[in-house]
Structure 1
Amino acid sequence: MEFSKLFRSLWILLAAIVFILILSPSKSSAQNSNLFREYIGALYNGVKFSDVPINPNDQFHFILAFAIDYNSTSSPSPTNGKFNIFWDSGNLTPQQVSSIKAQHRNVRVALSLGGDSVGSSYAYFQPSSVTSWLSNAVSSLTRIINDYNLDGIDIDYEHFKADNQTFAECIGQLILTLKRNGVIKFASISPFDSSQVQDHYLALWKRYGHLIDYVNFQFYAYDKSTTVDQFIQYFETQRSNYKGGKILTSFISSETRGLTPDNGFFTACKMLQDRQQLYGIFVWCADSSLADGFRYENQSQALLAKRNFYN
Structure 2
Amino acid sequence: MDSCKILFFLILRLLFITVPSIQATPAKSKLFREYIGAEFQHVTFSDVPINPNIEFHFILSFAIDYSSCSPPSPTNGDFVVYWDTKNLIPSNVSSIKADHSNVKVALSLGGDTIQGQDVTNAIKSITQIVRVYNLDGIDIDYEHFTADPNTFAECIGRLLLNLKQSKVVSFASIATYDNDSVQPYYLALWQKYGHLIDYVNFQFYAYKKGTTISQFITHFETQNTNYKGGKVLVSFGTDGSGACSKLQRQGKLHGIFIWSADNSKNTSFHYEKQSQTFLASSK
Contact conserved, 2:36 with 2:59, CA < 8 A, in 1?
yes
| Higher RCO (CA < 8 A, seq sep 6+) | 2
Residue 245, structure 1, aligned to residue 233, structure 2: no
Q: Compare CA radii of gyration and give the structure with the larger one.
A: 1
Residue 306, structure 1, aligned to residue 265, structure 2: no
Residue 207, structure 1, aligned to residue 192, structure 2: yes
Deviation (angstroms), 1:125: 0.5
DSSP-derived class of the 1:153 partner: strand
- How many residues align? The count is 258
Aligned-partner Cα distance in 2 for 1:276–1:73 = 48
Residue 54, structure 1, aligned to residue 50, structure 2: yes
Match for residue 78 of structure 1?
Answer: 74
Residue 103, structure 1, aligned to residue 90, structure 2: no
Match for residue 128 of structure 1?
Answer: 116
Q: Which amino acid aligns with 1:276?
A: G
Aligned-partner Cα distance in 1 for 2:242–2:158 = 38
DSSP-derived class of the 1:63 partner: strand
Deviation (angstroms), 1:103: 0.1
DSSP-derived class of the 1:282 partner: strand
TM-score computed with the length of structure 1 as normaliser: 0.80
Q: How does 1:1-311 map to 2 (within 5 A)?
A: 31-72=27-68, 74-114=70-110, 123-128=111-116, 133-251=118-236, 266-306=241-281
DSSP-derived class of the 1:184 partner: coil
Match for residue 14 of structure 2?
Answer: none
Aligned-partner Cα distance in 2 for 1:33–1:101 = 20
Per-residue CA deviations over 1:1-25 (Å, capped at 9, x if unaligned) read: xxxxxxxxxxxxxxxxxxxxxxxxx
Deviation (angstroms), 1:289: 0.4
Change (3 A) 1:159 1:266: farther
Query: Share of identical aligned residues, percent?
Result: 61
Aligned-partner Cα distance in 2 for 1:266–1:162 = 42
Q: Which amino acid aligns with 1:167?
A: F
Deviation (angstroms), 1:225: 1.1
Runs of 4+ with deviation above 3 angstroms: none
Contact conserved, 1:32 with 1:277, CA < 8 A, in 2?
no
Contact conserved, 1:187 with 1:212, CA < 8 A, in 2?
yes
- Structure 2 gaps, min length 5: 1-25
